[in-house]
Amino acid sequence: MDRTIPGLQNPIKHDWADENPIMDKIVDTIDFLVKFLAFLILYTKQAIFMENNAIKITNKIKTGKDIPKINILLV
């Protein structure tokens, strides 16, 4: 498998991946696991941030502070 790094004039080629398909599978698996772990970390951080915002809004509504005033005009 020809592995190249984009953006380089002379791409780096790993010939050992062509010679050893098992090592190629291991490298692909590790690459996938690292990307998946990064995705999970970012997703978890976003979920925690959204949950904290929801808790803040809920507490404001319970205490009656900063409730937006809604004026309904009946025609």
What's the CA gap between 29 and 35, in Å, rounded?
10
pLDDT in tens, 8-39: 555 555 555 567 778 888 888 999 999 999 99
How is residue 6 written in tokens? 């984009």
What does the pLDDT read at residue 10? 57
Domain coverage including residue 2: 1-75
pTM here? 0.47
Number of domains observed in the structure of the chain: 1
What are the DSSP calls for 9-26, one per residue?
A: SS----HHHHH-HHHHHH
Residue pair 17/27 in contact by the 8 Å Cβ criterion: yes
- Per residue in 32-73, pLDDT (tens digit) is 999 999 999 988 988 888 888 888 888 877 777 666 666 666
